Structure 1
Amino acid sequence: MPHVNPDVLRWARETAGFDLDDAAKRLDIKDTLSDTGGDRLAALEKGDGEPSRPLLLKMAKHYRRPLLAFYLPAPPRRAERGEDFRTLPVEYARRDEALVDALLRDIRARQEMVRSLLEVEDEAQNLPFVGSFDMNGGAKVLANEIKDALGFNLAQFRRGGRNDAFAYLRDLVERQGVFVLLIGNLGSHHSVLDVDLFRGVALADAVTPFVVINDQDSEAAWSFTLLHELTHIWIGRTGISGANPSTEIEVFCNDVAGQILMPGDEALSEHGLHGADTDQVIARIRQLADAWQVSHSAVAYKLFREGMISRETWAEVSGTFRRLWLQNRAAARERNRENESGPNYYVVRRHRLGNRLVGLSARMLAEGALSPSAAGRILGVRPANVYALTGAPPAGASGRAA
């Protein structure tokens, strides 16, 4: 059995966001008469002794690293996450950063597996729109290009409720070859990633572009975020986006999304909001959000960008809507805890993964090109659940042998 480099132990703990005492508690390293659990862990990280395999398994689980990572000869360099387009809140902590990095590692691993699968099966094709646009061309030009490529119809988008609107838009995007996932935690409620930490991720790969939307956000905001991240794909800028646009590229991506979902001429017709009091602005934003099938914050931002309301009014009404949303979300979570019944596990998982990823996995499973264990890693579920999730026939029922 190879030895574990103590520097790797320290690296794994620190990048997971734990101090020595917190990590020792999670790993169940008990205090002794002479040393605390933290002291005992520190000794291992200095090379004083070798961690047992059961302890390494606990480290792999709590540090969110594969077991083989602990046998690396040295700590690896930080993985490429792309550009960071976020403006982070003051209370952003190392623990939060570790969760975000774990999320990005997971997304990249899934993307790489999907790309490798397509390459092995000779189905890998470069998508011409990835990285095809220069921001200097302008937001309106790109908005029209994206609408044409998707075959997007604004009237159809607004025809049903917000859930139907997002489903319609997501289907159009996935038909173009983009994988659209809804992820807001790392597998449990203990690892929830708040919207302040990230709103969306875009991986602008030419063969397997991925868009991830934080499903902890309001469902009404998902469509806007999807188009924002799709813009990142179109301009070839991989990265992670936050809730507050403060950079040129984030403003540009917001403008493209806003132009698609809320054309400028519609917003410009709201000139009556010039100088209106806050209550009047809030009431009108509610009406427009319902009509346009977008979030209140998206409408407020669009009105500000078109000059219909001032920056001060935008900031005030945005703060009001955020407080109301947080209150409603807390109430909804409390109701869900009280309600013992809930949606079917597989229905929820399929919704979060998207038809493109589930459909590709189902087809590759049925053809024998993908094993249940590999499918489980791509889909983020246990191998035993992949057939029920995808609807693919069990191995040996059809297709090539697994």
Structure 2
Amino acid sequence: MSLEQAAKAIELNAARGQTGAARLAILEAGNAEISRQLLGRMAEKYRRPLITFYLAAPPPPGERGEDFRRSPKTAPQEFNPQLDTLIRNVRARQDVVRFLLEDDESEPLPFVGSSKIADGVDSIARGIIETTGFDLAEFRRSSDIDKAFAYLRDRLEQSGIFVLLLGDLGSHHSKIESRAFRGYAIADPIAPFIVINDNDARSAWSFTALHEAAHVWLGQTGLSGASHEAAVERFCNDVAGAILLPAIEVRAIDRTRLRDWENTVNAIGEFAAERNISRAMVAYSLLREGKITTARYRDLDDHFYGAWLKTKEKKRDKDEERRGPNRYVILRHRLGPALVGLARQYVESGSLSPTKASSLLGVKPSAVRTFLHPEGAR
């Protein structure tokens, strides 16, 4: 926030001939005393624990792992406190899961970190398919993209990877746009995690899940975005593409269907819908196979992103008109069957207290049992 926005947010008004922004600048420079009441408003509006304001220096950003969104030549990672908080939350959850599995003497998963880029795209794609038992024909037989993603998620989770859908800090006010990050992988051999930003298009979730799976196979923990600048990101995109959209199918597309803008957009739309994948993924595959130019790809990517935003706005308006599903139903879907099932198992065995489970699940300790056993809720 700018000084003006921040002053307005914390209700620091003009006084003694100074604007709210000027008063805030003086406080931030340490040249005036600050009231406990105002600190409380800062903690709330800046989304920071109160203790943060008593530290000698700003706390360091959360440990993200590698930032695959940037190439080595670009600037350092940008300041994004909400994203850092999300990553801290994910890592805290992963720590709990790892502790539980280690305590149960779970064996390390052999596929985590088992590959390197030199092995090639096809080798890693084949490894993911064989380990997860993924069947492309079954994925495509799914009646819609949500069911197709559910099938892929189940395959990944059955292999030992926890797949979460997280794009905010618990409310829409803290939403993190997909352009900030699309996925996050923790390549831990005991408890590997894949996080997908659920603010991204649903049709892109499957591609992102497999992109992050490639990072897990490479043993790489870090953030992924929409950029294709970094070589490792292009490689992981190619792995996901090889699984969901074999190159032979892309090469078979008749160039006459791509002769002008309208035909290209329509052809990509039909092609993507038939395969339960995103239009952006098809456009990227066309670029990689030399079917379209880089300039055309960028135009298509912007077009599909803009069209998705419009669709998203319409859906949000419709959702506001009708009552949505229970909050716990949504949260269980976001955390995924593997994580919820693990929490249920260890709470029932007494190995995980309701307090610890509440931090893992994001619900109050008193609500843990209701959350884990919805069939028994009244």
TM-score, structure 2 normalization: 0.88
User: Which of 250, 253, 260 is equivalent to 1:267?
Assistant: 250
Could you list the runs of 5+ residues in structure 1 that have no partner in the other structure? 1-17, 89-93, 395-402
1:108 aligned partner: 91
Provide the rounded CA distance (Å) in 2 between the counterparts of 1:232 and 1:189. Answer: 28
Match of 1:158 in 2: 140
Matched, 1:300 2:283: yes
Identify the match of residue 343 of structure 2 among 361, 377, 386: 361
CA RMSD of aligned residues (A): 2.7
Note if 1:212 corresponds to 2:204.
Answer: no
Q: Does 1:287 align with 2:270?
A: yes
In the alignment, structure 1 residue 186 sits paired with structure 2 residue 144: no
Contact preservation (8 Å) 1:267, 1:302: yes
CA-to-aligned-CA distance 1:112-133 (integer Å, 9 cap, x gap) = 22223333x3344322211111
Structure 1: how far apart are the matches of 2:86 and 2:66? 15
CA offset digits 1:305-347 (Å, max 9, x no partner): 12223323322322322222111111111111222x1122222
How many residue pairs align between the two structures?
Answer: 369
Among 329, 333, 350, which residue is 1:347 paired with? 329
Deviation at 1:97, TM superposition (A): 1.6
The residue number in structure 2 matching 1:139 is: 121
Bigger drift between 270-279 and 38-47 goes to 38-47
- Find the residue that maps to 1:125 and give its secondary structure: coil
The sequence identity of aligned pairs, in percent, is 45
1:270-318 C-alpha deviation (Å, 9 max, x unpaired): 1435862222222221121111110111111112212223323322322
CA shift, 1:144, in A, is 0.6
> Equivalent residue of 1:158, what SS?
helix
Secondary structure at 2:141 match in 1: coil
The corresponding residue for 1:400 is none
Task: Answer whether contact 2:112 2:218 (CA < 8 A) is retained.
Answer: yes
CA distance in 1, matches of 2:152, 2:48: 35
Instruction: Describe the shift of the 1:223–1:71 C-alpha distance in structure 2 as closer, same or farther (beyond 3 A).
Output: same
Is 1:327 the equivalent of 2:310? yes
> Counterparts of 1:373 and 1:41 in 2: how far apart (Å)?
38
Q: Which amino acid counterpart does residue 179 of structure 1 have in structure 2?
A: F
Show the 5 A alignment for 1:13-162. Answer: 18-19=1-2, 22-29=5-12, 32-33=15-16, 46=30, 49=33, 52=36, 57-70=40-53, 75-86=58-69, 97-119=80-102, 121-160=103-142, 161-162=144-145
Distance 2:225 2:130 in 1: 27
**Equivalent residue, structure 2, for 1:384:** 366
TM-score, length basis structure 1:
0.83
Distance 2:165 2:56 in 1: 35
* Contact 1:96–1:197 under 8 Å retained in 2: no
The residue identity in structure 2 corresponding to 1:227 is L
Q: Is the 8 A contact 2:63 2:87 kept in 1?
A: no
